[in-house]
Amino acid sequence: MKKSSKKSMSMYGLLKHLQSEFLNLKKLKILLPKFLEYHKQWMLYSNMEGAELSEYTEASPKIYDQTVSSKFDSHYFYQDIWGFKRILESKCKRHIDVGSNITFVGLLTAITEITFIDIRPLRANLENFKSIKGNILSLPYENNSIYSISCLHVAEHIGLGRYGDSLDPLGTKKAAKELSRILAPGGNLLFSLPIGKPKLCFNAHRIHSTQQIFDYFSDLKLLELSGVDDNANFIENIDRNILDSCNYGCGFFWFTKE
């Protein structure tokens, strides 16, 4: 394909992505009734005895929260529970996390001593917690020195510039190599990222196949592969073929170094 053709396709994709809800008739049909209902509810509330005075400038409509069930991000919800249980069961006295969900990291301080490494330090005041500014491509540890590591839903972003990191097409592969380097023999590495039909969604994330991840960690031994499929089902010891057939599944990999 010619470069000009590629540029035209990418520009079309960008313009399509930037359409606002008000330019999208399908979304507008949902938005308007919800907003009218919100305004009706506000007026009813305002006329009730004891109602507080509320100005339009202070309004905060939450028109998409009336759902049949509670919404949640299945990747993060299940991976954090999975990771927490594995770390709790390991009874490790010290754990290193590289860039994972900060709520997960905070909860871990209740069970062990945590060092959190990210290019954007977490300035939180917690017991058993230390935050270090660092890069997953150059971690501040000796070879074979860390016995408990987690890096959940992070490596797929590396090299795409999303969080201020440098552009690098091999970002995920290099991140995996660096995590392998510092893992001590007999130690545990908990690792997750999107799994499915491989593709790049610049500058959000990459989607990998299970084989790519096994190749990236070829010097480690897999202890467990669990994950979430396209239907938001969490499956322990999942068949890798289920993950590989996903559009946007999530693989939870538990590795050790022999």
Mean pLDDT, residues 37-61:
88
Q: What is the span of the domain harbouring residue 132? A: 74-256
In a domain, 63, yes or no: no
What is the tally of structural domains in the chain? Answer: 2
Q: How far apart are CA 83 and CA 12, in angstroms?
A: 40
Query: Quick one: how far is CA 178 from the chain centroid?
Result: 19
- Specify whether 175 is located in the same domain as 213: yes
- Specify whether 189 is located in the same domain as 232: yes
- Specify whether 108 is located in the same domain as 222: yes
Identify the domain boundary among 58, 86, 101.
Answer: 58
Q: How far apart are CA 10 and CA 256, in angstroms?
A: 41
79 is written with which tokens? 């991976």
- Specify whether 130 is located in the same domain as 196: yes
pLDDT score of 5 more than 80: no
Strand partners, 228: 234, 250
Query: pLDDT-based confidence at 1, cuts 50/70/90?
Result: very low
- Specify whether 197 is located in the same domain as 122: yes
- Specify whether 38 is located in the same domain as 108: no
Return the CATH number at 210.
Answer: 3.40.50.150
pLDDT at 11: 60
Q: How far apart are CA 182 and CA 174, in angstroms?
A: 13
- Specify whether 21 is located in the same domain as 93: no
Q: DSSP string spanning 14-37?
A: HHHHT--GGG-HHHHHHHHHHHHH
- Specify whether 30 is located in the same domain as 158: no
Q: Lowest-pLDDT range, 50-54, 61-65, 73-77?
A: 61-65
Write down the pTM of the prediction. Answer: 0.85
CB 153 within 8 A of CB 204: no
For the segment 91-133, what is each residue's pLDDT rounded down to a tens digit? Answer: 999 999 999 999 999 999 999 999 999 999 999 999 999 999 9
In a domain, 64, yes or no: no
pLDDT at 29: 80
Query: pLDDT-based confidence at 21, cuts 50/70/90?
Result: very low
Average pLDDT along the chain:
91
